[in-house]
C-alpha cells in the first residue's frame, strides 16, 4: 500500500529538512526522484539516495519562479518518462518580525515562495500527472495556517493560503485522478527552525522545545516525511483536498501558558493516584 515502485516523484526544498527526508523516504519506497532546491545541498540528498541503491537526479531551482517550475517538471518527465508525485515543500519564514514591523517586501517574498510556488507546481504539474494516469500532489502548509499563535504573520497567512489552495485544486481536478492534499507540520527541527533550536540548546532549554503540545516535544523531519509518503502512495487513495496536521497535538487547542499545563498535570497525577 505504501509502495511507490515504478513511480517518479518531484520534491522541492529537497536540500534539507522535511524535503530531504521525504525524498529519501520516497526513494526507499521505490520512486525515482527529481530532488529540487535553491541550495547546492540538494546534491547531498541525491548522493544519499544513490548510495542506498535508489535513482535520483538533482536540480537547482527556485520553486517560486514559473520558468524554473516548468523546466523542472519537463526534466522529470524527460529523465524518468513519467511524473506521478509532486511534493511542493519549499518554504521560508521571512524572519520573525512583529505585525507592524513586517514589510511589503517580506510579504511579497514569503507569498512568492510559500504560496505562488505550490500554485505553480499544481498548475504546471497536473497535466504531466494526468498523462501518467493520475497521481498525488502534496503541499507543505503549517499549523500556523490553521490559527494564530504558531508563526509570524506573513508566514502564517501564506500557509493559510496553501490550505485553501489545495481545496480549490481538489475541486478543479475533478475526474483527473489527481489528489491534492496539504500537510500542516507543527514545530519541526529543520534548517528553517535551526536558529530556534540552537538558541534553546545554547541556553540549556532544549527540553522546553515543543512544551505547548500534548507530546511535549518538537517533531522530526522523518515524521513529516512519513505522512508525505502516505499521501503519495495508494494507502491514501480516498484522501483528497485535506489539510493534515502533524504537530504533536498542538492544533487541538490554542497554546496555553505553562502554568495552565501544570494544573493539567496535577489533575492527571491525581487520576493516576486513583
Catalytic residues: 155
Q: Name the nearest CA neighbour of 151 among 207, 109, 197, 193.
A: 193
18-28 b/e with 16+ CB inside 10 Å = b? Answer: bbbbbbbbbbb
CA–CA separation, 59 and 126 (whole Å): 20
**Per-residue burial over 101-123, b = 16 or more CB atoms within 10 Å of its CB, e = otherwise:** ebeeebeebbbbbbbbbbbbbbe
9 grid coordinates = 516523484
- At which residue does the C-alpha cell 512519513 appear? 226
Residue pair 32/8 in contact (Cβ under 8 Å)? The answer is yes
* Contact present, 31 and 14 (Cβ < 8 Å): no
Q: Which of 136, 113, 82, 153 is nearest to 12 (CA)?
A: 113
Bridge partner list, 135: 178
Residue 37: count other Cβ atoms within 10 Å of its Cβ. 27
Amino acid at each position: 500500500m505504501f509502495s511507490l515502485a515504478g513511480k517518479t516523484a518531484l520534491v522541492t526544498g529537497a536540500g534539507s529538512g522535511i524535503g530531504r527526508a521525504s525524498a529519501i523516504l520516497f526513494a526507499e519506497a521505490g520512486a525515482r526522484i527529481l530532488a529540487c532546491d535553491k541550495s547546492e545541498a540538494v546534491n547531498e540528498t541525491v548522493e544519499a539516495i544513490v548510495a542506498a541503491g535508489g535513482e535520483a537526479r538533482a536540480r537547482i531551482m527556485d520553486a517560486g519562479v514559473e520558468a524554473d517550475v516548468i523546466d523542472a517538471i519537463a526534466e522529470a518527465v524527460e529523465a524518468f518518462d513519467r511524473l506521478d508525485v509532486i511534493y511542493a515543500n519549499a518554504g521560508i519564514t521571512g524572519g520573525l518580525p512583529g505585525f507592524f514591523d513586517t514589510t511589503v517586501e517580506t510579504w511579497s517574498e514569503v507569498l512568492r515562495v510559500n504560496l505562488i510556488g505550490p500554485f505553480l507546481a499544481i498548475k504546471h504539474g497536473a497535466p504531466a500527472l494526468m498523462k501518467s494516469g493520475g497521481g498525488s500532489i502534496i503541499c507543505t502548509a503549517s499549523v500556523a495556517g490553521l490559527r494564530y499563535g504558531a508563526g509570524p504573520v506573513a508566514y502564517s497567512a501564506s500557509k493559510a493560503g496553501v490550505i485553501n489552495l489545495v481545496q480549490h485544486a481538489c475541486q478543479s481536478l475533478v475526474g483527473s485522478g489527481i489528489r491534492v492534499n496539504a500537510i500542516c507540520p507543527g514545530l519541526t527541527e529543520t534548517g528553517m527552525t535551526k536558529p530556534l533550536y540552537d538558541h534553546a540548546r545554547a541556553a540549556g532549554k532544549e527540553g522546553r522545545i515543543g512544551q505547548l503540545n500534548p507530546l511535549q516535544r518538537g517533531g522530526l523531519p522523518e515524521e513529516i516525511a512519513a505522512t508525505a509518503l502516505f499521501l503519495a502512495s495508494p494507502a491514501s487513495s480516498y484522501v483528497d483536498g485535506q489539510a493534515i496536521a502533524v504537530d504533536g497535538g498542538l492544533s487541538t487547542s490554542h497554546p496555553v501558558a505553562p502554568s495552565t499545563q501544570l494544573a493539567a498535570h496535577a489533575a492527571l497525577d491525581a487520576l493516576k493516584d486513583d
